[in-house]
Amino acid sequence: MLSRLSDRLARLEEIAAAALAAAVTLLILVNVAFRAAGSPLYWISELAIYAMIWMTFLIAGAVLKRRQGIAVTLVADALPGFAHRLLMALVDLVVLVFAVLLLWLCWRWYQPLALARLDFDVRAFQGETFNFIYAENTSTLGIKKFWVWLIVPWFALSLTFHGLVNLGSALRGLRDPAEAPRPPEASP
């Protein structure tokens, strides 16, 4: 059940990333047209950059879930059955440790409990923690940057979930080779 949920989440991330890729293309084309007309819209460039960042984080979660990240597999391919599966489980463990560490760092960065304890008073939060994450605006859009940066905690949470599912699958594959995750097909 968790594996299916992880697959669906990865699929939603892929769809959202594809929509953002289309949005980036459209934003750049609109910006080119307005610049050619002599009236550039500067906020479009910033919005395109943020859309590209979100697209990258979303697709990265889906790629790592599917174990399709760029890798040098010379050693892994040379290992026999159990050793290969053990190495793949170790890779899944490293991805999970990275995701949990990133999740912890995001928790420390956003400090939601401190903000809640101070009744969501941003000035009091800044004075107590010297953390100005909730105060800084984007350059041209004028929205708070923490909204844009929320993709990092999302990525950390998503990758933690995908990593747990992948590691569970890899550990089951160590016990029963028939359940071992299949490596993605190589591109020609």
pLDDT band at 98 (very low <50, low <70, confident <90, very high): very high
Q: What is the mean pLDDT of the chain?
A: 90
- pLDDT > 70: what percent of the chain? 94
65 vs 178 pLDDT, higher one: 65
Dump pLDDT digits (tens) for 99-138.
999 999 999 999 999 999 999 999 999 999 999 999 999 9
pLDDT band at 55 (very low <50, low <70, confident <90, very high): very high
HSE-up of 128 (CA within 13 Å, CB side)? 14
Classify the C-alpha dihedral 108-114-119-125 as positive or negative. Answer: negative
Contact between residue 141 and residue 43 where contact means Cβ atoms under 8 Å apart = yes
167 vs 185 pLDDT, higher one: 167
Residue 138 DSSP symbol: P
How far is the C-alpha of 58 from the C-alpha of 110, rounded, in Å? 20
Residue/partner pairs of 13-21 with CB below 8 Å, 24 or more apart: 13/58, 13/59, 13/61, 13/62, 13/158, 14/58, 14/59, 14/62, 16/54, 16/55, 16/58, 17/54, 17/55, 17/56, 17/58, 17/59, 17/62, 20/51, 20/52, 20/54, 20/55, 20/58, 21/55
Dihedral, 90, 12, 187, 177 alpha carbons, nearest 10: 40
pTM: 0.84
pLDDT band at 182 (very low <50, low <70, confident <90, very high): low
User: DSSP 3-state assignment of 137?
Assistant: strand
Phi and psi at residue 83, to the nearest 5°: -65, -40
